[in-house]
Each structure stands twice: as structure tokens, then as C-alpha cells.
Chains A and B, each alone.
Chain A
Amino acid sequence: MSAALLYIEDDQEIGSFVSTHLKEQGYEVNWVTSGERALEAAAGCRLVILDVMLPGLDGFTVGQRLKKAEPDIPILMLSARTSIDDKLQGLQFADDYLTKPFHPDELTARIEVLLRRSGNRSSAEPLAIKHLLVYEQQNRVENGETGEEITLTGKQFHIFSYLLRHLGQILTKEQIYEAVWGEPYIEGDKTLQVHIRYLREKLERDPAAPEIVETVRGIGYRVRK
């Protein structure tokens, strides 16, 4: 699947390698070497990969301006600085953060996650998870084996789609609760567990041995492909 990526990197060697690597993965890559040009090139792209250390305008400034101009385009920061203070500053506007030296496979994995999370995949192609087909655009979940539609309540769908947006990632009960209910998690609240139990009853083949919404003991929940 092709998607236009804007890649901002001043180092020639790294830039040419990464853009070649991403093109091999099937992405359309627009590589620019300065922040000024990045701001012009941002329109119409699906994701921005931004290096922090740039000549002229630094990466933070570019990132902040990009986020202001195009708030829907996810930004992945690449940094060769110490993580200690860059991380906080970067994550104020960036959607993800990767420190150099990074593994090229890791970069592709992060890009995929970001693209899926931003919902920029315009295709109506359903997401297949085990026996389920999820049409995110239409808020519809289907049992792929029987073709039956599974009706979820608002909260159940909300929880499920939050887990889907962070596919493969483990989310703690606090993170899920705060994202779905939009208020701070109250200690000892069992609401989320109850909702997850009902969600499993609807989604899982065997709710007693869940395959879709995994429990990661002691940490939280996860949905994997």
C-alpha cells in the first residue's frame, strides 16, 4: 500500500538509506533536507518523519509549525540527541519518537502503527483480527466466519477501537479508562473489567479463553493481529 511520507533529514547517508528502505516497503517518500522546505512540502502527505537536528530551523520548531498547520498528519520524530530532555519536548507535538541508532524494521513498524492510528487509511478494506472483520470507517464489526454483524454498545465499541488503534500494544486499565471515559481513573473501579467481560462475550469464540482481547497479567490488555 502506498502512502506519501514526508521525510526530513539533513544527513545524506542516513537520508538516502532510509528513503530507499521505505520505498522498498512500498511507501512513496518525499525526502527534503531542510525545515523550511518541509513546511512547503507538508500539504497532502500522510505522515511526517522528522529529524531533530536540522540546519536552520530546528526540528522542534518545524514539528510545532507542522502540527499547527496540519494537525491531522502524524509526526514521527527521529532524534540523535539524548533522550533525557528531547523526549518530553518532542512528544508535546510528535505522535511517536525514535532514537538513533534505530533499526529500520522498527521504523517501518512504527510508521504502520501511526498510519493506522491516524485513521488515514481511506480504504474501506476491513481489518482482519482472528475471526473478526472490523470496518473502522463504518463502526461495524463482523464475524468473518458466519458473516453476522456483531452489535456493540457505544462504550464497548469505544474500548475495542481504542485497543485497535494501538494494535499490538499493551494498554493499562488506567490508559483505557481515561481514553474512553475521558476522566481520571478511580482506584479500584471495576467498570472497565465489567465492560471488557461483556465485550469478550460478544467477540470471542470462547469468552473463557479470550483470543481477541488478551489479558496481559499484571499489566493490562492487548489486541493483536
Chain B
Amino acid sequence: MRKAGTREGGIRFRQTLLSRYLLIILFAFMFIPVIFPLTSIGYMVMQKNANPQSDYLKYGNAASLEAMWHKEASLLSEAQPERIDGRLRELKQAYPEASVFWVDASGATRLQMPEQDRLPAQWTQADAIRFMKASVGGDPYTVVAFIGQASGAETGFMVMQMPRSVIEIQNPIGVDTPYYIAFIFVMFVFFIALSLLFFRHIRRRLLRLQAAMAVHGDDGLPMPVVQTKPDEIGQLEQSFNRMVEQLKAGKERERAEEELRKRLIANLSHDLRTPLTVMNSHVYSLRKEALSEAGQAAVKQIEQKIAGTGSLIDNLLSYTLMTSGRYPLKLERQDMLRLIRESAADWYPLWEQEGIEADIGLPDESVYWRIDKEGFRRVLDNLFQNVVRHAKGGRYIGISVEAHGDRQILSVCDRGAGMNADSGGKGAGIGLAIVGYLLSEMGLAWHTESADSGTKVLIYPK
């Protein structure tokens, strides 16, 4: 294609398929360096907005709670149990979710808020160890602190138990990872779908164009397509339409030439036959005059010659039309017996008039050949005419269709003097040339046997 051709349509770069394809490729390239970080940032921003960290742990985390408890415990002393009770009550109020109790140096459980059944009333060393073991890493979170400055077996201790949900972040980082992966996955699917749609769209348009090229309209030419978009395929469609236009114009020109040729031949035929008709009319007038026997015979001769010349002109011009391909044959399945009967019916009166005995032997069953109706008629006309014109002397025409093996053979025979004899009505050549041409065009073969005692023409499918 010429370079100028692509510019002719005047399409802008952003309208091209190329630009759209580049966009998709760009998207693919941006996937790792842009989409991933972007997703992460987006995720983090969302996280922040959804769960502001400050409100989240109202008492601080476990460590700060533990530090607070130890501090409180160190400020109290075993010697003042009422103060301990009072302080625990205050703390309970400050931390309503917590359960608190304390145990004095003798191992007796003192104030419990709320009351807990499973706590022993009197703690042994083993109880203390079991309790500690059960509490480590468990829920609630348990803080044990010795009361007062001193520490040892003789000191009491106070315990705070806090549900972990209060002091630990419920959704730590990493809980949302599936969403993150899903988002990446969605982006990936989006990319695949985009590429798929892009190519499917191109493919559909190409297929549509291909179908348009395969489908032919009434004139045997492809139909123009509707131009969809001003991109490369759109230009292809445009070129295709231009080509269809050119084909149409070519076909039109060819048809016009054919028409001209036909008209020329028609005019030629008219110009040749009109004087013949005039001659004919004068001869006819002449016949009505008082003529000697020789004069009558001469008039008859002239009439015959005029008729012969007329059909010769017809044959000649028809032959010209046919052989230049201006007479397309339409081959169809036809009952050839029917065509023979109809043709013979037309000729029969003339045969009777000329004293020709017609012997017609056609089978009852139809015989179908793939032939052109008018073409086959013309073959029969020419053959029958030859019999009338050249084999009148035999006073016989035999038309028969007989089966030979699996094929039917049409035979037209006469008892004339044969083709080599001078029948006085020369000019059979062009008539038989038409027969030969038409038969071969219709896929039929023919064979002529001519002897002094008559001529036999056999016609059969190849």
C-alpha cells in the first residue's frame, strides 16, 4: 500500500488501533512498579481511616497496664488491709472490665471484685503456681504484683485480670492481606479482560469484513460494508468499498460493451434482412402475374434463396454472438423428450407439406439432461432444418431416443443423399457449427454418420 494512502483518510494517532494497543501494553508495564505500591498505599490509607489507633486501646497496651499495676501495688502495704480494699475499689471503678482480688501474706483470699468461684479461699504455694501457670499467655491477661516494697513468701499479692480484647488490637496488620491479594487479582483480571476485549473486537470486525468479501450481491459482486471507525480496519473497509466500486464500474463497462455489441449485431441483422423482406414482397407480387412455367420455377427458386439467406444471416450472427460469449447458456435439468416433442410439433406441418414422413420413437419415461432449453431447441431446429433443406429427397425423418447401456442417445436421421452430396442448398456449415458449439457448451457429444443413403446424427451426454 502506498504511504500516502494511510494519510489520505486523515486519521489521528489517538484513533488508531496502534495507540490503543500501546495503551494496553503501558498498563501491563505499570503493573508491578505502579499498581503494587499504589495498592499498598491505598490499603494503608483505608486502614487508617477505618480504625483510628488512638481510640483503640483505651488503657494502653499490656505493658503499660502491668507497669501501672506494679506501681499501685508498691504504694500499698500489707499492714493496712482497709487501704488496699479501698484502692482496689477505686481501680475497679477506673477499669470496669477488669476483675481484681488480692491475697494476704497468710494465703487467704481477701477482696474479690467480682466474686470468682474457682479461686481458692486459702492459697497454698501449689495453688499460686497453678494459677500463674494457667494465666500465662491466656485470656484474660493477668497481672500479679506483690504488695508493698518487699517481696517474698511472706508478702501478699494483688491480681488484675483484663480481657485481652481490651488491651490488644483485634485486627493486627496482616489480617487484611487476602483483600490486598484480591485487589491485585481483580486488577489482573481487568487487564486480561481488557486485552481480550480489544482483540475480540478486532477479530470480530475482521471476520465481518471477511464475510462481506465472501457474500455476493445480485450482480455477483461483494456488497460494500458500513465503515465503523476511522482506524486501520476502518481504512481497510474503506479500501474494500473502493474496490467494490471499481469492480462495479468494470462490470458496468463490460455490460455496456456487451450491449453495444448486441445492438450492433441487431442493427446489422436488421439492415441485411430488411432488403430481403422487400425482395420477398416483390417476388410475391411477381408470382401473381401471369408467368410461364419457367418463370414460376424461377420465382420459387428466388423465394427459397431469400429464405435460405435469411436463416444464414441469423445463424451467422447468432454464431458470432455465441462464440464471443455473449449468449450465456443456463444449464438446467430438463426433460429433453418434452423439448423434442415441442420442437417436432412446430416442424411437423412443414414436414407434412414437404412430404417428409416423420418417424418419431420416444420412450414413455422422461429423460433428463442438464441442458439450456433455448440452446437445445436451437440444436434441434438446425438439425430439422437441415433435413428439410438438404435431405428432402429421402422423404423421411427419424427421431428417436434409445438407451445404450446407462445412457440415452438421441438420433436424428434422414434418407437424403448424405452430407457430401450437392443438395443444392449449401450453407449447412454454419448451422452445424452452431450445433457443435451449443452441444459442447452443454456437455453433450455428437457424432455424424453420413452415407449416400442418408445421414444420422447421434447426440449423447459426454
Which residues of A approach B to under 8 Å, CB–CB? 11, 13-14, 17-18, 21, 53, 80-88, 99-104, 168-172, 174-175, 187-188, 216-220
Q: Which of A14, A18, A219 contacts B341 (CB 8 A)?
A: A219
The answer to whether A102 and B374 touch across the interface, beta carbons within 8 angstroms, is no
Interface check B406, CB cutoff 8 A: no
Shortest CB distance A84–B (Å): 4
The answer to whether A84 and B318 touch across the interface, beta carbons within 8 angstroms, is yes
Shortest CB distance B333–A (Å): 13
9 contacts between A and B (CB under 8 A): A21-B281, A80-B272, A84-B317, A85-B321, A100-B276, A101-B310, A102-B277, A103-B303, A220-B345
The answer to whether A216 and B345 touch across the interface, beta carbons within 8 angstroms, is yes
Shortest CB distance B166–A (Å): 101
Beyond A83-B318, A84-B321, A217-B360, 8 additional pairs, beta carbon < 8 A: A14-B274, A81-B270, A84-B317, A88-B374, A99-B310, A101-B280, A170-B346, A219-B348
The answer to whether B281 and A14 touch across the interface, beta carbons within 8 angstroms, is yes
Q: Secondary structure of the B side of the interface?
A: helix
Shortest CB distance B411–A (Å): 13
The answer to whether B310 and A104 touch across the interface, beta carbons within 8 angstroms, is no
The answer to whether B285 and A81 touch across the interface, beta carbons within 8 angstroms, is no
Report the separation of the CA atoms of residues A175 and B284 in the bound assembly, to the nearest whole angstrom: 35
Q: A14-B281, A216-B348, A218-B344 are in contact. Are A82 and B276 (CB under 8 A)?
A: no
The answer to whether B374 and A218 touch across the interface, beta carbons within 8 angstroms, is no
Chain B residues near A86 (CB-CB < 8 A): 266
The answer to whether B274 and A80 touch across the interface, beta carbons within 8 angstroms, is yes
The answer to whether A187 and B366 touch across the interface, beta carbons within 8 angstroms, is yes
The answer to whether B278 and A14 touch across the interface, beta carbons within 8 angstroms, is yes
- In chain B, residues 19-67, which have Cβ atoms closer than 8 Å to a Cβ of chain A? none
Chain B residues near A83 (CB-CB < 8 A): 314, 318
Chain B residues near A100 (CB-CB < 8 A): 273-274, 276-277, 310
Report the separation of the CA atoms of residues A81 and B277 in the bound assembly, to the nearest whole angstrom: 12
Chain B residues near A175 (CB-CB < 8 A): 342
Q: A85-B262, A187-B366 are in contact. Are A101 and B360 (CB under 8 A)?
A: no
Shortest CB distance A108–B (Å): 11
Interface check B200, CB cutoff 8 A: no
Interface check B269, CB cutoff 8 A: yes
Which are the 4 A-B pairs with shortest beta-carbon distances? A218-B360, A170-B345, A17-B281, A80-B273
Question: How many residues does chain B have at the interface if contact means C-beta atoms less than 8 Å apart?
Answer: 48
The answer to whether B279 and A101 touch across the interface, beta carbons within 8 angstroms, is yes
Chain B residues near A17 (CB-CB < 8 A): 278, 281-282, 284-285
Shortest CB distance B247–A (Å): 25
The answer to whether B327 and A85 touch across the interface, beta carbons within 8 angstroms, is yes
Contact pattern, B 371-406, Cβ under 8 Å of A = 1, otherwise 0: 000100010000000000000000000010000000
The answer to whether A13 and B281 touch across the interface, beta carbons within 8 angstroms, is yes
Interface check B362, CB cutoff 8 A: yes
Chain A residues near B366 (CB-CB < 8 A): 187
B348, closest chain A residue (CB) = A170
The answer to whether B284 and A21 touch across the interface, beta carbons within 8 angstroms, is yes
Shortest CB distance A122–B (Å): 28
Chain B residues near A188 (CB-CB < 8 A): 364-365
Report the separation of the CA atoms of residues A18 and B284 in the bound assembly, to the nearest whole angstrom: 11
The answer to whether B349 and A168 touch across the interface, beta carbons within 8 angstroms, is yes
Interface check B307, CB cutoff 8 A: yes
The answer to whether A18 and B281 touch across the interface, beta carbons within 8 angstroms, is yes
Q: Which of B303, B365, B374 has the most CB of A within 10 A?
A: B374
The answer to whether A172 and B284 touch across the interface, beta carbons within 8 angstroms, is no
Chain A residues near B321 (CB-CB < 8 A): 82, 84-85
Shortest CB distance A200–B (Å): 20
Interface check B163, CB cutoff 8 A: no
Report the separation of the CA atoms of residues A120 and B271 in the bound assembly, to the nearest whole angstrom: 35
The answer to whether B317 and A101 touch across the interface, beta carbons within 8 angstroms, is no
Shortest CB distance B62–A (Å): 105
Chain A residues near B327 (CB-CB < 8 A): 84-85
Report the separation of the CA atoms of residues A103 and B284 in the bound assembly, to the nearest whole angstrom: 8
Report the separation of the CA atoms of residues A120 and B278 in the bound assembly, to the nearest whole angstrom: 31
The answer to whether A80 and B278 touch across the interface, beta carbons within 8 angstroms, is no
The answer to whether B360 and A82 touch across the interface, beta carbons within 8 angstroms, is no
Report the separation of the CA atoms of residues A11 and B265 in the bound assembly, to the nearest whole angstrom: 19
Q: A88-B374, A219-B360 are in contact. Are A172 and B341 (CB under 8 A)?
A: yes
